[in-house]
Amino acid sequence: MADPLVQSGKRKREEESESTQTPGPRGDKAAVGNGTAASTSFPFSGFRLQKVLKESSRDKIIFLHGKVNETSGDGDGDDAVVILEKTPFQVDQVAQLLLGSPELQLQFSNDIYSTYNLFPPRPLSDVKTTVVYPATEKHLQKYLRQDLHLIRETGEDYKNITLPYLDSQSLSIQWVYNILDKKAEADRIVFENPDHSDGFVLIPDLKWNQKQLDDLYLIAICHRRGIKSLRELTGEHLPLLRNILQEGQEAIQQRYQVREDRLRVYLHYQPSYYHLHVHFTALGFEAPGSGVERAHLLADVIENLEYDPQYYQKRTLTFALRADEPLLKLFQEAKKN
């Protein structure tokens, strides 16, 4: 959840195609200026577009790769990724768009129907901008549009293929520890259970600008370290999971007046970073990664572990991998053998 103005980018704005080997684009640096609305500038100079990595007309978002801090324009600068996203309408402000004489350009007119381009005033025309800087080759590949392949991972596959691969990677999650240790984003914490074993921190995901509830999105990050993902959960972790579900729902209802029956509470597998966390989103919001091939409802996870404490050690789990991911190649090679 890095602040959009911070050098290292987001937590998850997790895109559905997020790579399993790449941690969230936050990097290791502590966040600065969290929660501020003051004017600021990018943490680099210049931006020469290299490539459009990905774009979605449905989600009104585009991912750009550029060179920054160039001295001669011959590619000697640093790489950066800039993500531009149109923000949702705010109901309490939308009427201002039509007050007075808004700037319009007529595109089409026929009988009672007409279409215009409306140019909103500056306070209503902001574009959410997420910066990943400096960006590595992994970041560039992470955001590049790729074909997806569905994988069926058995418990043995996890032990013999996935876990050794994860252990071989340098997947820094220092930004997670910065949040848990209050070194970054402390002013954004909505709720905390400080218990080191069964507690967690609840914090808004930066995909949500907190100006409307339609796309509400928060993340619960557990204090306990060493739990990589859903696959490593056992009956031992039931107190932690129950706390996250119950206390997280209560905190959201108290802060935002959103009841538990209007929330989707789930875990990703594979996750975008390997420290156990849980997603809380508005039920009507089609959040990235909420599809059946990736999202596992927390209430179902709890019930499965109550039924069998080793459920996720043994169950075959389905997830999607991008065509360029080394883990996909490992699964394909194992299948040949």
Report DSSP letters for 108-123, one per residue: EEETTEEEEEEE--GG
Q: Are 118 and 102 in contact (CB under 8 A)?
A: yes
Banded model confidence at residue 211, pLDDT cuts 50, 70, 90? confident
d(CA 266, CA 280): 7
For residue 26, the model assigns a pLDDT of 42
Catalytic residue among 65, 237, 277, 296: 277
Higher local confidence (pLDDT), 228 or 15: 228
For residue 14, the model assigns a pLDDT of 38
Higher local confidence (pLDDT), 147 or 197: 197
Across 12-27, average pLDDT: 37
**Which bin fits 297, alpha (ψ -120 to 50), beta or left (φ > 0)?**
beta
d(CA 281, CA 217): 4
Catalytic status, residue 296: no
d(CA 212, CA 88): 8
For residue 72, the model assigns a pLDDT of 67
Q: Are 274 and 228 in contact (CB under 8 A)?
A: yes
Domain extents in the chain: 48-143, 148-335
Q: 3-class SS at 192?
A: strand
CATH architecture of the domain covering 148-335: 2-Layer Sandwich (3.30)
In the numeric block, which tokens belong to residue 22?
A: 């790449």
What are 49-67's pLDDT values in tens digits?
A: 999 998 888 788 999 999 9
For residue 74, the model assigns a pLDDT of 63
Higher local confidence (pLDDT), 179 or 55: 179
Q: Is 311 exposed, middle or buried (0-12, 13-18, 19+ CB in 10 A)?
A: middle
Characterize the bridge pairing of strands 263-268 and 277-282.
antiparallel
For residue 28, the model assigns a pLDDT of 39
pLDDT at 202 over 70: yes
| Binding-site annotation, residues | 175, 185, 205, 207, 268-279
Nearest by Cα to 248 from 218, 226, 274: 218
Percent of the chain predicted with pLDDT > 90 = 55
**Which bin fits 166, alpha (ψ -120 to 50), beta or left (φ > 0)?**
alpha
How far is it between the farthest Cα atoms of the chain?
70
For residue 322, the model assigns a pLDDT of 87
| Binding-site annotation, residues for substrate | 175, 185, 205, 207, 268-279
CATH number of 48-143: 3.30.200.40
For residue 311, the model assigns a pLDDT of 98
